[in-house]
Amino acid sequence: MAAPASTTAPATKVIREVFALGRSPFKTFDPFLFCMYHNDTYPASTKDTLGPDPKLLRSRDIGSDFSYEGGWSMYHGTTVPGFPAHPHRGFETITVTRTGLVDHSDSVKCTARYGEGDTQWLTAGGGIQHAEMFPLLHPDRPNTLQLFQVWLNLPRKSKMCTPYFSMFWKEETPMAELPTLPLRAGAATPAEKAMSKVIAGELEGVTPLPPPPDSWAAAPDSDVAVWTVDIPANAAVTLPAARGGASSTRAVYFVKGGQLEIGGGEAVVAPMNGARVAAEVPLVLGAVDEPAEVLVLQGRPIGEPVVKHGPFVMNTREEIMQCFADYRRTEFGGWPWESGDHAHPRDMPRHAVHMGGRKEFPPNKAEESAKQQPPPQPKKPQE
């Protein structure tokens, strides 16, 4: 495989390791804890629900369906796919959507419908319950869902901070145009542009939206970056060296395309492979034959002990045990919605209701008329 035109791999070995990705959580590196990729091609919904025909569920382990049978899973959902109410403490979730929608509800009375390029950034802090359901809005055609959920650790000083809910609408999320070169010497420069969604970490002079106030990403020297990178077929791009240099970690996750050339020729990998790479040198990525979709996670390690148990991430085993005790006692504020798998009506537009009841809609004129609908209100289950 020829190296990208006018691009030379640095003398320093760029690739530290290559690893396979699957439907289980991806390998991640401090300050990241977890990365899950959902790529589900759901069937049409029934006319009366936001879920698939019950006939399609008979062979599945409903309540814990990770089978990917037919190209999709119900996960912990019973009617609507997704993840009904569950607790978290000690870290943040960053849900980066590509296609499809997510219905969010939580124990601090925030709620949202988001997707199709939106990002939700949730600081669990001292404790929150949330539900993430995947509504199938279309009864007349398949419903595709593609998203990443990333867990970013919190430092010890912030693990018990107040929960924080934020939405980065696709219309407001900065995009960086990356200079492209032909992958093969002598070929024409690709007409299409390589684009990166800048969720965290400056790229090509593009500044991201502010992260939550207690996030590790809010620390000036954290060097946290979360970028999706879309590379045209037979094009190469160069990502700059991390500002933190060798003290930062950097990983790339290749989820869709033909093949990806990493490090100016050090490796060529198929989709659903990742690599830990040197952060102190520029990184060359090339899309072989087909457009490539890549996620990049980068950051300076927090460097503190990590003790994980299910939905809780703390620094000691004793703190984990306290998580369970606190959750049994308080339920992290309780669950204010009618059901643990709360989903919005089919015709509800993308929206968010923040702490204190502040309503927010994306700046999309096509959805203006739908803004007149009252947002959902939390309700206690009937006694």
Same domain, 159 and 64: yes
Same domain, 340 and 258: no
Residue 370 has pLDDT above 80, yes or no: no
Range of the domain at 201: 15-23+175-299
Final residue in a domain of this structure, among 299, 326, 356 = 299
276-301 residues labelled b (16+ CB within 10 A) or e (exposed): bbbbbbbbbbbbbebbbbbbbbbbbb
Instruction: Please answer whether residues 120 and 156 qualify as being in contact, where contact means their C-beta atoms are separated by less than 8 angstroms.
Output: no
- Comparing 23-37, 135-149, 155-169, 177-191, which segment has the lowest mean pLDDT? 177-191
**CATH number of the domain residue 55 falls in:** 2.60.120.10
* Mean pLDDT of the chain, nearest integer: 93
Binding-site entries: 86, 88, 130, 132
Q: In angstroms, what CA-CA distances link 137 with 47, 51, 81, 99?
A: 9, 8, 12, 13
Same domain, 101 and 189: no
Q: CA-to-CA distance for 86 and 209, rounded, in angstroms?
A: 28
Number of domains into which the chain is organized: 2
Q: Say what percent of the chain tops pLDDT 70.
A: 92
Same domain, 210 and 358: no
Residue 366 has pLDDT above 70, yes or no: no
Instruction: Please answer whether residues 287 and 183 qualify as being in contact, where contact means their C-beta atoms are separated by less than 8 angstroms.
Output: yes
Same domain, 135 and 219: no
Binding-site entries for Fe cation: 86, 88, 130, 132
Residue 144 lies in a domain: yes
Same domain, 165 and 50: yes
| Each residue's pLDDT tens digit, 70-90 | 999 999 999 999 999 999 999
Instruction: Please answer whether residues 175 and 193 qualify as being in contact, where contact means their C-beta atoms are separated by less than 8 angstroms.
Output: no
Same domain, 294 and 322: no
Q: pTM to 2 decimals?
A: 0.92
